[in-house]
Amino acid sequence: MRLIAYYLALSLAADVVAVFLCLWIERYWPEASMPIFIGLYFGILWGAWVIAIRLTEPKEVTTTAAQSQPAE
């Protein structure tokens, strides 16, 4: 559940930035704003998933020699 929450939060935050960036681009170069937004949108979907996976990965636990010996 935490994975999906991180993914949605990252996607929404990055999409808001992409919208405002493309609105700014549209003032100066209207023909390019839509292709740039589409590229950013799909890049955000992929990037948010990769980051969400890394954030929710289980942390590795290091074992010491005393812990790894079988109990007698």
- Inside any domain, residue 66: no
* pLDDT value of position 61: 72
* pLDDT value of position 48: 97
- Inside any domain, residue 68: no
| Residue 69 in this model has a pLDDT that exceeds 80 | no
Per-residue CA distances from 36 to 10, 20, 70 (Å): 19, 12, 59
Number of domains in the chain: 1
* Cα-to-chain-centroid distance, residue 64: 34
Looking at per-residue pLDDT, the higher value among 59 and 7 belongs to 7
- Inside any domain, residue 62: no
Residues in the chain: 72
The pTM of this model reads 0.75
Contacts with 33 (C-beta within 8 Å, 6 or more apart), sequence order: 22, 23, 25, 26
* pLDDT value of position 42: 97
- Inside any domain, residue 28: yes
Condensed to tens digits (0 to 9), the pLDDT of residues 3-58 reads: 999 999 999 999 999 999 999 999 999 999 999 999 999 999 999 999 999 999 98
Match 């979907």 to its residue by tokens.
Answer: 45
Range of the domain at 6: 2-57
